[in-house]
């Protein structure tokens, strides 16, 4: 607490509002209780401290740092606006994130130096408003709490949207990697990748930005600006190393099932890419000795593209539920999402996955039967939902 009031008045106000907790004593309180001079009291025994502005004026930076380091509850009384800047710099030297409120012209240096400068919207001067990061339009300090809640909500929702968007990158890149490394027929085409990035993923990713606040959002400790980044190692490992890998495995499961149903077992696919894409080869044998023409092979390949795409879409449904909350379970948070969210998400996913194989003109390029993907749909959805329940128990650092 920094004020221009007399130390006795400032101390009484600080105790009244809880800045100095009940039971915590200053050096003067300890001296009065023990009936000894103030000079005989060890300053480190006092958790609270009241510093007079005249004493602060004569202090060195080291002495101020000693006070800030050894006392958790500090009141600065009879201070001038210029001394606010000294206090801000001292707190920042201790590694603290400093917020300063002010309304006068003399407060502008401290407002600008602070990590968060807060100016009064009604009584504040234009200079203080320009130097501040936040302006209280109603001059009510309680509005700061609302601003903190909104800031945490935006930060949370951005992380949710990023986590959801990054997840589908793994099942999109791994088919191409195996296409090059293992020389297998292309599992996922470029058009279907664009359908995921520009179609089915867009609306759910945007809708996550409008999620309501979780119930414990104001009960958490303030995040560390040095370590708690928007995209951290925990988020990357979950999106790429866990959910993304499960999506990729699910897509490849569908891919290999369809090819096996048509006679190409996984062992036969290794190193077959050049012959598979050779337009002049119309007698390529499968695992059972059946011969396939180029056109027949491409029909099977395009079927795999559509099924792989549909598998990613279905698992992204489960991923959407996983990303809906960061700390609470879905049962705690509830599914109180708007009808627009449900409609757009469902329409985007269902229409995107079915249009490729059902719309006129698309059936030849993206052929797919319901039986090709029904079993993978169910197994992938259950598996990813189970993973999501596990992740909610241990990913508080995301």
CATH code, residues 149-394? 1.20.1110.10
Tell me if domain 7-145 and domain 149-394 are identical in fold: no
Band of residue 340 on the pLDDT scale cut at 50, 70, 90: very low
- Asked whether the predicted pLDDT for residue 75 surpasses 90, the reply is yes
- Between 348 and 198, the higher pLDDT residue: 198
Tell me the C-alpha distance between 129 and 336, whole Å: 39
| Confidence at residue 315, expressed as pLDDT on a 0 to 100 scale | 83
Residue 77 CB burial class (10 angstroms; 0-12, 13-18, ≥19)? buried
If one counts every other C-beta atom within 10 angstroms of the C-beta of residue 15, the result is 16
- pTM for this structure? 0.75
- What is the percentage of the chain residues whose pLDDT exceeds 70? 83
β-strand partners of 119 = 102, 135
Q: DSSP assignment, residue 134?
A: E
Domain boundaries, the chain: 7-145, 149-394
Tell me the C-alpha distance between 348 and 350, whole Å: 6
| Confidence at residue 321, expressed as pLDDT on a 0 to 100 scale | 79
Give 164-173 pLDDT, tens digit per residue.
899 989 999 9
- Asked whether the predicted pLDDT for residue 95 surpasses 50, the reply is yes
User: What are φ and ψ of residue 82, in 5° steps?
Assistant: -65, -30
| Confidence at residue 89, expressed as pLDDT on a 0 to 100 scale | 92
- In this structure, of 5-9, 175-179, 183-187, 366-370, the range with the lowest mean pLDDT score is 366-370
| Confidence at residue 362, expressed as pLDDT on a 0 to 100 scale | 55
Over range 233-245, report the average pLDDT: 88
Over range 337-347, report the average pLDDT: 49
User: Mean pLDDT score of the chain, rounded to an integer?
Assistant: 82
Tell me the C-alpha distance between 36 and 39, whole Å: 8
Look at phi and psi of residue 35 and say left if phi exceeds 0, alpha if psi is from -120 to 50, else beta. Answer: left
Unique residue bearing structure tokens 């409008």: 210
Over range 262-268, report the average pLDDT: 92
| Confidence at residue 306, expressed as pLDDT on a 0 to 100 scale | 86
Show the tokens assigned to 222. 């303030």
| Confidence at residue 325, expressed as pLDDT on a 0 to 100 scale | 78
Over range 46-64, report the average pLDDT: 89
Of the options 2.60.40.790, 3.40.50.300, 3.40.50.1000, 3.50.50.100, the CATH number for the domain spanning 7-145? 3.40.50.1000
| Confidence at residue 210, expressed as pLDDT on a 0 to 100 scale | 83
Look at phi and psi of residue 168 and say left if phi exceeds 0, alpha if psi is from -120 to 50, else beta. Answer: alpha
| Residue spans of beta strands (DSSP E) within the chain | 48-52, 73-77, 99-102, 116-120, 134-136, 284-285, 291-292
Three-state SS at 19: coil
Could you tell me the strand order of the sheet in which 116-120 lies?
A: 99-102, 116-120, 134-136
Three-state SS at 102: strand
- Asked whether the predicted pLDDT for residue 333 surpasses 90, the reply is no
Over range 354-362, report the average pLDDT: 54
Closest alpha carbon to 51 in 93, 96, 7:
7
């Amino acid at each position: 607490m920094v004020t221009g009031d007399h130390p006795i008045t400032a101390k009484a106000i600080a105790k009244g509002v809880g800045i100095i907790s009940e039971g915590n004593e200053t050096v003067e309180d300890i001296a009065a209780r023990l009936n000894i001079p103030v000079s005989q009291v060890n300053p480190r025994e006092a958790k609270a401290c009241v510093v007079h502005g005249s004493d602060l004026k004569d202090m060195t930076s080291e002495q101020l740092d000693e006070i800030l380091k050894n006392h958790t509850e500090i009141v600065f009384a009879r201070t001038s606006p210029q001394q606010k800047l000294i206090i801000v710099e001292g707190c920042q030297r201790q590694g603290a994130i400093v917020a300063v409120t002010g309304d006068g012209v003399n407060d502008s240096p401290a407002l600008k130096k602070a990590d968060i400068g807060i100016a009064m919207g009604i009584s504040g001067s234009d200079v203080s408003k320009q130097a501040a990061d936040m302006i209280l339009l109603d001059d009510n300090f309680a509005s700061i709490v609302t601003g903190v809640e909104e800031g945490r909500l935006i930060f949370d929702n951005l992380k949710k949207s990023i986590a959801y968007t990054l997840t589908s990158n793994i099942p999109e890149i791994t088919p191409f990697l195996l296409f090059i490394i293992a020389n297998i027929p292309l599992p996922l085409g470029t058009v279907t990748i664009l359908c995921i990035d520009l179609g089915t993923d867009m609306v759910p990713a945007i809708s996550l930005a409008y999620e309501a606040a979780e119930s414990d959002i104001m009960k958490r400790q303030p995040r560390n600006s040095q370590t708690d980044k928007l995209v951290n190692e925990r988020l990357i490992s979950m999106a790429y190393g866990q959910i993304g890998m499960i999506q990729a495995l699910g897509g490849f499961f569908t891919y290999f099932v369809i090819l096996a149903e048509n006679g190409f077992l996984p062992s036969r696919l290794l190193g077959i890419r050049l012959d598979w894409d050779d337009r002049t080869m119309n007698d390529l044998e499968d695992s059972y000795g059946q011969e396939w023409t180029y056109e027949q092979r491409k029909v099977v390949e395009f079927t795999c593209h559509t099924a792989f795409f549909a598998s990613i879409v279905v698992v992204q449904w489960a991923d959407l539920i996983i990303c809906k909350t960061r700390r609470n379970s879905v049962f705690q948070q509830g599914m109180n999402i708007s009808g627009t969210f449900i409609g757009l998400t469902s329409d985007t996913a269902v229409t995107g996955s079915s249009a490729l194989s059902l719309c006129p003109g698309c059936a030849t390029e993206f052929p797919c039967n319901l039986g090709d993907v029904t079993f993978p749909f169910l197994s992938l959805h259950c598996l990813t939902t189970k993973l999501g329940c596990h992740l909610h128990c241990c990913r508080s650092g995301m």
